Structures are given as structure tokens and as C-alpha cells.
Amino acid sequence: MSLVNFTAREITCKIVYYGPGRSGKTTNLQYVYGRVPEARRGRMVSLATQTDRTLFFDFLPLELGTISGFTTKFQLYTVPGQSYYNATRKLVLQGADGVVFVADSQARRFDDNLESLQNLQDNLLAQAVDVRQLPVVFQYNKQDLPRDLILNREEMDDALNFRDVPSFSADALHGSGVFETLKGVSELVLKRLAAGTAVA
């Protein structure tokens, strides 16, 4: 749930990058971390296994700037994508103000995307969060791969984006689409906050 400090005029929101294993969630945060001036971000914390797979979460605190007179801070989290880490995903998802679903555009990962999206919905329902009310955007990552290996944005939308929420093509490794995705989810989260109907 977003927190607002009226005395210090600060807004803090929690954004969770969700999606199947190896879809590029951590890569998104690493790119953001690399591009943002040090004064505007904290240390990126990665609780990972020895093989650099996310074990608990990655975390990156960001100061977005001043919006309507409020210093706006975002906390970016990723969840571990592998299916057996569901208990951890639930914990990280708790209190999220917005979700970026990072899907792997490779055709062979089609089922993994669907399974992860279903898992997101299940976990939100278990936390009594109305999926339709939560700001969600899709990012179709790895769109830089050869065309015969991937589904394009329209095909990905058809497969995953039933609610017609904002979606973005991306190549997170090289940064394409990362900024647009963050902007997309930020807009939705702040609109929701301004409407005064917190999610959780």
C-alpha cells in the first residue's frame, strides 16, 4: 500500500516485477540501476543463489522526483520466477501498489508465461486483492531475438493481456522498453493513489 507523508510531502510506492524464471525481471532492475544517478537510487540488493538466480527478491529504491509537490519514491522488487518459490513470491507481492508482468517472448516459453500469470492471480486472490483494481502492465521481453523464435507484441497481447492493460515490447538487456514500462506502471499507480482507493 502506498504511503504518503504529508509533513515531509513524500509518496512511497511498491512495484513488483513478476513473471516466469529467466524472463528478465532482474535484468530490468539492473538496467534501471545502471542508468539512474547514484544520488537518486539506493544500493541494489539481490538475494540470489550461487548461480545468480533470484532466491528471495531483488530490491532497488528509487527517487523519481517531485510530482505535485510530493517527493515520489518507488521501491522496485522482483520475485523469484521458479515455480517452487511460491511462498517467497507471496511474501514479496504483499502490499504491492503495482505489478509489472515480465513475460518471455520466446514461443517455447508460452506455457511458462501463462502459468506464472495464473500464479500471480492466485496469489493476489489469496491476499484478497482485486486483480481488476491492481495497476498491472505487461512487458514482452526479449523482442530482440530472431523473429522465428518469438511471438510479437500482438500475439503476446492475445495470449496474456485479457484486460487490455498497457503493454510494452522490450529488450531489457540493452534497455529498450525498460523506461517505458516503468513509466507506464508509475502512471497507473499514481493515478490510483490520487483517486484515493488504495489496493490492499
Partner 1 sequence: MRALEPWVAAPLQTFINESAARLILLMTTSGQVVAQHGFSRSVEVMTAAALGAAIVASTEELSRTMAAPRFGAVVHNGSRQSCMLSAFATPRGRWIGLVVFGSETSVGLVQLFFDQMVEELVMVAPKEQAPAPMLAENFEDELNTSLKELFGR
Considering only the stretches 8-16, 114-122, 128-136, 157-165, report the one whose residues sit in contact with partner 1 under the rule CB under 8 A.
Answer: 8-16
Q: Which is nearer to partner 1, 53 or 183 (CB)?
A: 183
Considering only the stretches 22-30, 52-60, 98-106, 162-170, report the one whose residues sit in contact with partner 1 under the rule CB under 8 A.
Answer: 52-60
Q: Are 160 and 151 in contact (CB under 8 A)?
A: no
Q: Are 120 and 38 in contact (CB under 8 A)?
A: no
Considering only the stretches 105-113, 130-138, 148-156, 180-188, report the one whose residues sit in contact with partner 1 under the rule CB under 8 A.
Answer: 180-188
Position 1 contacts partner 1 (CB under 8 A): yes
Distance of closest approach, residue 199 Cβ to partner 1, in angstroms: 11
C-alpha 179/C-alpha 171 separation (Å) is 11
The set of cell numbers assigned to 55 is: 532466491
Q: Which is nearer to partner 1, 78 or 113 (CB)?
A: 78
Distance of closest approach, residue 35 Cβ to partner 1, in angstroms: 5
Distance of closest approach, residue 86 Cβ to partner 1, in angstroms: 11
**Residue type present at position 76:** L
Position 159 contacts partner 1 (CB under 8 A): no
β-pair type (54-67, 70-78)? antiparallel
Position 67 contacts partner 1 (CB under 8 A): yes
What's the distance, CA 51 to chain centroid? Answer: 22
- Interior/surface letters 40-62, b for 16+ CB within 10 angstroms, e for the rest: ebeebebeeeeeeebbbbbbbeb
Using CB under 8 A, pick the residue from 26, 46, 54, 72 that binds partner 1.
Answer: 72
Position 36 contacts partner 1 (CB under 8 A): yes
Residues in binding contact with partner 1, number by CB under 8 A: 55
Position 156 contacts partner 1 (CB under 8 A): no
Q: Which is nearer to partner 1, 117 or 182 (CB)?
A: 182
User: What is the residue whose three cell numbers read 492471480?
Assistant: 121
Using CB under 8 A, pick the residue from 48, 91, 114, 173 that binds partner 1.
Answer: 91
User: What is the residue whose three cell numbers read 508460452?
Assistant: 110
C-alpha 125/C-alpha 41 separation (Å) is 32
Handedness of CA 194, 157, 160, 74 (dihedral sign): negative
